[in-house]
Amino acid sequence: MDLLSPIKDHHSERRLFIARVALASTIGILLLGGVVARLVQLQVVDYEVFAEQSQGNRYRIEAVPPTRGLIFDRRGRVIAENLPAYQLELIPEQVEDLDDTLQRLAAMKLIAAEDIENFKELSRSGPGFKPVALKLRLTDEEIANFALQRARFPGVDFQPRLIRHYPHGEATAHAVGYVGALSKADLERLEQSEYAGTNQTGKTGVESGYEAALHGDVGYNNVVTNALGRRVPADSRDVVDALPDNVTAAPGEDVYLSLDLDLQLLATEALRGQRGALVAIDPGSGDVLALVSAPSFDPNKFAVGMSTSEYSALQNDLDQPLFNRAIRGAYPPGSTIKPMLSIAMLETGATNLQHTTMCIGYFSLPNSTHRYRDWKPEGHGEIDIVNAIAQSCDVYFYELSVDLGIDNIHRYLDMFGLGHRSGIDIRGEHRGLVPSREWKQNNFSGYDARWYNGETVIASIGQGYMLATPLQLASAIATVATRGERYRPRLVAASQNTVTGERTLYPPERLDDIRLQDESHWETVILGMHEVMQGAKGTARAAGANAEYQMAGKSGTAQVFSVAQEDEYDEDEIEFRLRDHALFVAFAPLENPRIAVALIVENGSSGSRVAAPIARAIMDEYLGYGDDAGN
């Protein structure tokens, strides 16, 4: 061991200290240089970029939803309006825990727990700054309760909005339609920039068909916010030199319908408690004067927001109140097609004014024992075409249909618009069905693709494969009323710019007329229809009695199920929903007709007894002969 070695080497320690100080100084200088360089970059090099971002944080663009256009009837009476209300809204980007927020709102009963997933999906499907409507109309109590808890719900608030309101509720629901909350499917279909700030869109009827006109154009307000993103009150703002100009929202156009509200309300009341539909048309223009489907629903429930369970209850209702029977209900038209079929028989020579048939209560095809029964078991005796229409003799049409043939039946009914969508200006119309040999070949195979004479026989009274909507029947009978002039049915007659007051009238759309080889055939058929309601033996003479004007009509009965050959149809023994449907078509006055009506009462059994009086009441009201007529 070296006893002379020093205990402490001051020289080495001094060199180590100097090296460490130099290293620390170098690192410090480098770090300071980095900070200075970064400050230069932020404040000098990238000044404009960050200044623009700063202004962007200071300014916020808020969408201003346009005021939805109003809807009026033909006399200017309000059918759809806007009322002020407070709605609960959520801005997704301002909510930290979306699921927890929605759960707590549900606990307060401000939203339904079953709708939470739907709200979460809507919150994620659109821009984070766009408000999501949670409840479209808050009660005063709900507003007070939420106001006490508002601090616990950042990003959620209630805002004053205009809510759609339908003063006549279910009476106009199927014609006018309703607005409802934007769904994910709506957001994918619509241009989102046009619906910024808007939480509703038209779902059915006129509200949907004329959505573009009714909606209007969204506006934008540029507002100044503080560091927390809240709006700065006007009296405490800093001077803002370059605040962009606001864009004013353009309100939607007002829409004027062809509907007559008096007729609409009368038809609604006439069908109350029943399932069915009624359509009334002006034969000279195609204007739809009334369009009712029963039972109906309250469209206001959709406008203010409906829970999933409430909507499911409507969807699953056995009576289908959401189903628009007037344009979507496809029914066997029964004997209501006999006027159009008579035109076909007269034009093709299958019959004429002198031809008669002996009706013994049934008809059988050659070499067949199957009996096609008449509605009158004892038969009508010897009968011509006018009386066959008036008394609705099935045997007359059975016999002549074989000579006429299914393809001629198809050709002539096609001319009247049966088997085709009428082209009415609302969506969802059913096309109906008029069968033909070609149709059967394309839709069946093997022996089933063959057309049989027996199928022609039952087609002659509007049964078998044949289907028509009440709208199609109304349009067809309107064509008979005008002696072949045809117009496309329409619900909207005009629109008006709410800013300029300029009104745009929509002219009636003329379709191809039906030109007969012998125009007198129109009068023959119309005479038979006149006898239906005001003749000595007409099937609906009770409904047409004591009228102060001349009218024409045709009753119809459509089987819901077939009765076996050996069985008799006993209404009292049949379950209600299996009873025959009651149909009726009519127009008036006989010359220069102003209204044509078609209606069906499901399971009403008798068109003459059940449906005809309703048609008569509608015509009375419109022509000024009703109890409360004010025309």
Q: How far apart are CA 133 and CA 181, in angstroms?
A: 8
Write the CB contacts of 462 (distance below 8 Å, at least 6 apart in sequence): 332, 333, 334, 335, 336, 337, 338, 468, 556, 558
SS (H, E, C) 5-71: CCCCCHHHHHHHHHHHHHHHHHHHHHHHHHHHHHHHHHHHHCHHHHHHHHHHHHEEEEEECCCCCCE
Distances (CA, A) of 52 to 55, 127, 238, 338: 5, 21, 17, 76
Structure-token pair, residue 61: 């663009």
Q: How far apart are CA 161 and CA 86, in angstroms?
A: 6
Q: How far apart are CA 526 and CA 621, in angstroms?
A: 22
Q: How far apart are CA 71 and CA 88, in angstroms?
A: 26
**What single-letter amino acid sits at 563?**
V
**What single-letter amino acid sits at 91?**
I
Pair 205, 214: CB distance under 8 Å: no
Q: How far apart are CA 173 and CA 166, in angstroms?
A: 8
Phi, psi of 7, rounded to the nearest 5 degrees: -75, -35
Structure-token pair, residue 292: 């009712």
Pair 481, 593: CB distance under 8 Å: yes
Pairing of strands 362-363, 357-359: unpaired
Structure-token pair, residue 470: 């009440």
Beta bridge partners of residue 331, listed in sequence order: 468
Residues known to be catalytic = 335
Residue given tokens 């709200």 in the structure block: 119
Residue given tokens 């009965």 in the structure block: 557
Q: How far apart are CA 388 and CA 335, in angstroms?
A: 11
Structure-token pair, residue 101: 């927020």
The length of the chain, given as a count of residues: 631
Q: How far apart are CA 204 and CA 179, in angstroms?
A: 8
Best CA proximity match to 508, nearest among 290, 257, 284: 284
For residue 55, the tally of other CB atoms under 10 A from its CB is: 13
Phi, psi of 532, rounded to the nearest 5 degrees: -55, -45
Q: How far apart are CA 53 and CA 92, in angstroms?
A: 21
What are the residue ranges of helices labelled H in 434-564? 437-443, 453-459, 470-481, 520-534, 541-544
DSSP 602: T
Task: Measure CA of the first residue to CA of the last residue in the chain; give whole Å.
Answer: 134
Q: How far apart are CA 58 and CA 52, in angstroms?
A: 10
Write the CB contacts of 214 (distance below 8 Å, at least 6 apart in sequence): 68, 69, 71, 202, 207, 252, 253, 255
Pair 189, 117: CB distance under 8 Å: no
